[in-house]
Amino acid sequence: MTRPSPSAVTGVLLALTAAWAVTAAPADAAPAAPHDTLAAAQKVSVPAYFAPGALWNRLGQGAGTVGLAVANPDSGPGAGDAQYTSAITAAHNAGVTVIGYVRTGYFGSTGITTKSGSTDPAEWMRQIKSEVDTWYRLYGSAGLGGIFFDEGQNDCGPGNANVNRYTELRSYVESRHGASSVVVDNPGTGAAQCYTAAADTLVTFEGSAATYRTFQPQAWEAGASPDKIWHLVYESPDETSLRSTMALARQRNAGHVYVTPDTLAGNPWDSLPPESYWNTDLSLARSAG
């Protein structure tokens, strides 16, 4: 495989579209983060939905500032690929934590089905755990560092039923594949505070720079560890917009951030920004604070 398959791109678009249909968890808008919780420096963490090669090499060259990279061969682990093995190994050796993409399909609550056509949460759980194990079987020896659970729910659910599924997944990853495994949940929008125990890091914003300007984080985020929060921002067209967006991310206590001029037309995560923009992104992250 030389690049992510069309189904991987389709999966990204489905995830972005479905995320907007999930109701944000009710909470007051967050105030500015207290000074003692602001990230002294941020990590540029990247949904690396592009083929192994030059762009993956650039991720490794940014190690120390690049924190997480999400590998996504085929809207999941695929069947195994020597090029991905090499890319994950090189990134890991450089100091980047590579995590594997797994869809959770909002556990069927929005009508998204498993590969077998089911919306049953139990069927989703079986598929998800199987894909987690496949990731580690194929790429564990290459240095895979964790799992990125996409299409995440964001409300606790009746009796915490929704969040308990994600807590179960975190426990599954850590118990079978090591307590140091990094677990990320991506609802792509504000998540209720109950989710802070369900993942190491939560993607609490995924959207355009224009939307980010008026975005209001959940109240709990202001006092959280910055490492708990990841913001993904596309359609930030130039370095002026980049600087503004990065400043907002720091004010909003996001310890992980990724900003790109790429657009929603196609897939905003299928490339890295032009080199000058990318270097400015890294520099701003290093100098935050």
Is 19 contained in some domain? yes
In the predicted structure, residue 208 carries a pLDDT above the cut 80: yes
What's the domain count of the chain?
Answer: 1
The whole-angstrom separation of Cα 236 and Cα 36 is 28
Q: Give phi and psi for 172, each to the nearest 5.
A: -60, -50
Mean of the per-residue pLDDT values of the chain:
89
Range of the domain at 147: 6-287
Residue 203 placed within a domain: yes
The DSSP output letter for 111 is: S
pLDDT in tens, 17-65: 344 334 344 344 444 444 444 555 799 999 999 999 999 999 999 999 9
pTM for this prediction: 0.88
For residue 55, tell me if it sits in a domain: yes
Contacting residues for 67 by C-beta, under 8 A, at least 6 apart: 43, 44, 45, 96, 97, 256
Sorted by sequence, the CB contacts under 8 Å of residue 141 that are 6+ apart come out as none
220 part of a folded domain = yes
179 falls within a domain: yes
Burial 70-109 (b: 16+ CB within 10 A, else e): bbbbbbbbbeebeebbebbbbbbeeebbbbbbbbbbbbbb
Question: Residue 248: pLDDT above 60?
Answer: yes
Is the predicted pLDDT of residue 148 greater than 90, yes or no? yes
What's the CATH number where 142 sits?
A: 3.20.20.80
Does residue 1 lie in a domain region?
no
Residue keyed to tokens 């590998």 = 71
Tell me the pLDDT band of 132, cut-offs 50, 70 and 90. very high
